[in-house]
């Protein structure tokens, strides 16, 4: 869509003022606040053209104008300059992320909370997909008499801990032998390729310890069963109540519809699943689900060792502060990629 510079400045002014105030924007407001060097009458004429182009619209109860979904789209594609985060914000983000590096899932959950705190929006973070990951290592840690912690490590950094019964006569050396056999048979195998036959083969080799490994085999079958489930695409939601602070969602029906979808992990996974590599913005009516027709979502992908692992997003009203949200999501995904890749560099 071709647009002259004056119309661009007026559209940009309308978007920015509406984002800041949540109030429809009139020509006199633009004239006073933005010093465009033209009269309110000229601004009104240009606004009429912008309305005819479908970029702004008039709420029934106001003489002012608000951006349409197309207007927001033009703004983010052609007019917006992302906010530059200051060094203190960057240091805080890196510090918070690196302080939670015990497990990938912990980092991911904390990332969602951090984004929602910084942006005052709702965050969505999708973790690693288990079925496409590769088993890196399995080992056992003594826990208490008759029990051990079985730890499985995958190449995407995901770690699972499960307590298993091992019998009171099992020694540390026995556990090491078990771990060696599991790792020899399974290490480097994709989770989705692990078949029941392989598990039976291991079971056969360990027949002398059948009582001891019954619990382990049950857990392994659950961890590695060859199907994709909702848990495999788990989305961590943060700051959902932030939506209640937005003027657009004071309508109880809208809130109920939105929060109903928040309970459906599969729909959230569809919402945040990357359609492309890198950062993307979906605005209003571009969202497939009716509950999100007045929302925008900004998503970006993160990686470990160059492999796409999951995605991060923020959800808010179409009136969200795109400059800030884009900058935060972009920096968070890049930081998460660097931090996780450094931690799991040897697991590729």
Q: Please state, in angstroms and rounded to a whole number, the distance separating the CA atoms of residues 24 and 37.
A: 21
Q: Please state, in angstroms and rounded to a whole number, the distance separating the CA atoms of residues 66 and 62.
A: 10
Neighbours of 307 (CB within 10 A): 14
- The CATH number for 157's domain is 3.30.390.60
Q: Please state, in angstroms and rounded to a whole number, the distance separating the CA atoms of residues 283 and 73.
A: 7
pLDDT in tens, 59-74: 877 779 999 999 999 9
In this structure, are 154 and 294 located in the same domain? no
pTM score > 0.85 for this model? Answer: no
Domain termination site, one of 183, 199, 224: 224
Domain total of the chain: 3
Domain termination site, one of 79, 99, 117: 79
* H-helix segments, 146-277: 172-186, 196-205, 210-224, 252-262, 265-272
Q: Please state, in angstroms and rounded to a whole number, the distance separating the CA atoms of residues 126 and 109.
A: 9
Look up the domain containing 203 and give its range. Answer: 131-224
Whether residue 80 is predicted with pLDDT greater than 90 in this model: the reply is yes
pLDDT in tens, 315-339: 999 999 999 999 999 999 999 888 8
- The CATH number for 41's domain is 1.10.10.10
Which residues touch 191 (CB under 8 Å, ≥6 apart)? 130, 131, 132, 133, 134, 135, 154, 223, 224, 226
pLDDT in tens, 277-311: 789 999 999 998 888 999 999 999 988 778 787 88
Whether residue 348 is predicted with pLDDT greater than 50 in this model: the reply is no
In this structure, are 212 and 244 located in the same domain? no
**Residue 128: its pLDDT value, please?**
66
**Residue 265: its pLDDT value, please?**
81
pLDDT in tens, 84-141: 999 999 999 988 888 766 666 677 778 888 999 999 999 998 876 555 556 677 777 7
**Residue 288: its pLDDT value, please?**
84
Domain termination site, one of 224, 243, 268: 224
In this structure, are 162 and 68 located in the same domain? no
């Amino acid at each position: 869509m071709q647009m002259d510079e004056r119309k661009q400045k007026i559209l940009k002014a309308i978007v920015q003022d509406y984002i800041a105030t949540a109030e429809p924007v009139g020509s006199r407001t633009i004239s006073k606040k933005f010093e465009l060097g033209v009269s309110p009458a000229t601004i009104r004429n240009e606004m009429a053209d912008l309305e005819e182009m479908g970029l702004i619209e008039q709420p029934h109860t106001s003489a002012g104008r608000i951006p349409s979904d197309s207007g927001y789209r033009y703004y983010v594609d052609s007019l917006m300059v992302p906010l530059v985060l200051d060094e203190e914000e960057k240091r805080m983000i890196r510090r918070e992320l690196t302080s939670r590096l015990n497990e990938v899932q912990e980092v991911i959950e904390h990332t969602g909370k951090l984004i929602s705190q910084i942006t005052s929006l709702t965050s969505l973070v999708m973790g690693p997909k288990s079925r496409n990951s590769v088993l890196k290592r399995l080992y056992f840690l003594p826990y208490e008499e008759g029990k051990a912690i079985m730890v499985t490590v995958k190449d995407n950094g995901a770690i699972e801990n499960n307590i298993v019964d091992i019998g009171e006569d099992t020694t540390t050396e026995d556990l090491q032998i078990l771990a060696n056999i599991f790792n020899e048979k399974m290490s480097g195998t994709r989770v989705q390729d692990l078949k029941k036959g392989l598990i039976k083969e291991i079971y056969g080799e360990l027949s002398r310890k059948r009582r001891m490994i019954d619990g382990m085999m049950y857990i392994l079958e659950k961890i590695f069963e060859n199907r994709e489930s909702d848990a495999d695409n788990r989305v961590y939601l943060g700051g959902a109540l932030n939506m209640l602070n937005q003027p657009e969602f004071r309508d109880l029906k809208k809130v109920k519809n939105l929060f109903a979808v928040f309970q459906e992990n599969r729909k959230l996974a569809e919402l945040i699943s990357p359609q492309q590599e890198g950062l993307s913005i979906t605005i209003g009516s571009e969202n497939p689900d009716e509950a999100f027709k007045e929302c925008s979502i900004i998503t970006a992908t993160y990686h470990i060792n160059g492999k796409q692992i999951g995605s991060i997003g923020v959800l808010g009203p179409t009136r969200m502060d795109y400059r800030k949200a884009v900058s935060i999501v972009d920096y968070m995904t890049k930081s998460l990629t660097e931090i996780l890749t450094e931690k799991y560099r040897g697991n590729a």
